Structure 1
Amino acid sequence: MPAPERTSLEAVVTAGRAVLEADGVAGLTMQAVAARVGVRAPSLYKRVADRDHLVRLVAAATVEALGERLAAVPDSGDAVRDLAALAGALRAFARSAPAGYGLIFVPGPAAARPDREALARASAPVLRVAAALAGPADALPAARTVTAWAHGFITMELAGAFALGGDVDEAFAFGVRRLAAALAGPDAGAGAGGVSRPR
């Protein structure tokens, strides 16, 4: 009778995410994850092909968790309010899992990147709001603009780069309002696809 499996792929990925947050990408090794799940490193190869595969699984799980966080933001019918809520959810996720957040936004080897379908699922709420603000034809560039701005702000915040004082939360809210107004353009109003002007 074969010996029972001592760990599951889910446990390996969960351990990998914990190791990533504790020790960063450099510390995300087969040995570190094996130690956390209580097996020897060679046992992990029953579940994971190599370190690149491990990083990809952890990145994919992180993208999935981010997607769940964004999908939980309700559609209020007000695209400006929804943009603020989504940006806030992204910021909260980055604060709760900064190493994981960094992993999914930093280029890495192709073998370690999450697949496009996972990224598309996670991006769907942002694309929806971007389409409501800028129109369906401009949804993708609008969503990329939102993501690039939010990522830049969040990355600076996590790095402690806002050294001039002032209220960083208010600065984030200000940026979201201005970005929403810019994406909606001069013709947007309360009757245009549910978009209302930020106040």
Structure 2
Amino acid sequence: MAIVNSYTRIVPTPDRTSLDAIVLAARDLLETEGLSGMTMNAVAARVGVRAPSLYKRVESREKLIQLVAEATMTEFASRLDGATTVAELANGFRDFGHERPAAFQLVMTPAPGVPSIRLEFAIRATEAVLRVTSALAGPEHGLEAARTLTAWVAGFVSMELSGSFKLGGDVQSAWDFGLAAITAAIRSRPTTTDAPAA
């Protein structure tokens, strides 16, 4: 049995990674290996520690997925901050989707069981969209316009990323057509009496 005298002190092992480094490694793995490949073991190997060490920073894989989604939304929001038109917003969405397709799918069309981001991150990510759509459609229709724009962009880009446009034609022309139609619809500010009867 070892004898510990009064001069001996326990020195904690220095931290070998940070939460930011873990989230960055997980984000990179998400793009190269997909969500299923973003395991705690793979992230640990990427940052140079053993998997149990990650749990000092992140309590579970589900929490790590949530943190990656929230970091994605933060980056996404900062990219859109300067947008002043519907076209700038939509093209910003689309560019992000092409640059980071797995992250785009994670936050825009999450699979069942994927942890939800916290409300403050969702609010931050929608600030620019609400600002632009409210200016165009009026404050009373800003939220509806933001949802319409976001749903169209998410759907179009998701189909584009998955190669679902198989009938030929120019996808860029379809994007331009849809964007013009969505912008015109938002600008027209329809009232409930304009809606077709169910």
Give the TM-score band, short-chain normalised. Answer: 0.7 to 0.9
Q: Distance in 2 between matches of 1:165 and 1:27?
A: 33
* Equivalences for residues 170-185 of structure 1 within 5 A: 170-185=173-188
Q: What code does the residue aligned with 2:128 have?
A: P
Q: What code does the residue aligned with 2:19 have?
A: L
* Aligned counterpart, 2:132: 129
TM-score (norm 2): 0.86
Q: Residue 108 of structure 1: CA displacement?
A: 4.3
Structure 1 unaligned runs (5+)? Answer: 76-81, 188-199
Q: Residue 165 in 1 paired to residue 175 in 2? A: no
Runs of 4+ in 1 over 6 A off after TM superposition: none
Q: Residue 186 of structure 1: CA displacement?
A: 7.5
Q: Residue 53 in 1 paired to residue 56 in 2? A: no
8 Å Cα contact 1:93/1:101 also seen in 2 = yes
Q: Residue 72 of structure 1: CA displacement?
A: 3.6
* Aligned counterpart, 2:74: 64
Indicate which of 13, 17, 22 corresponds to 2:32: 22
* Aligned counterpart, 1:79: none
Q: Percent identity?
A: 49
Q: Deviations over 1:97-128 (max 9, x none)?
A: 11111111215447x22111111111111111
| SS of residue matched to 2:65 | helix
In structure 2, do the counterparts of structure 1 residues 186 and 122 end up closer, same or farther at CA, with 3 Å as the change threshold? Answer: closer
* Equivalences for residues 38-187 of structure 1 within 5 A: 38-73=48-83, 75=84, 82-105=85-108, 106-109=110-113, 112-185=115-188
| SS of residue matched to 1:114 | coil
Q: Distance in 2 between matches of 1:96 and 1:85?
A: 16
Q: What code does the residue aligned with 2:16 have?
A: R
| SS of residue matched to 2:166 | coil
Structure 2 unaligned runs (5+)? Answer: 1-10, 191-198
Q: Which has the higher relative contact order, 1 or 2, with Cα contacts under 8 A spaced 6 or more apart?
A: 1
Q: Residue 166 of structure 1: CA displacement?
A: 2.0
Q: Deviations over 1:33-61 (max 9, x none)?
A: 00100100000011000111111111111
8 Å Cα contact 2:138/2:189 also seen in 1 = no
In structure 2, do the counterparts of structure 1 residues 46 and 168 end up closer, same or farther at CA, with 3 Å as the change threshold? Answer: same
Q: Deviations over 1:71-110 (max 9, x none)?
A: 143x3xxxxxx10111001000011111111111215447
8 Å Cα contact 2:141/2:189 also seen in 1 = no
8 Å Cα contact 1:20/1:99 also seen in 2 = yes
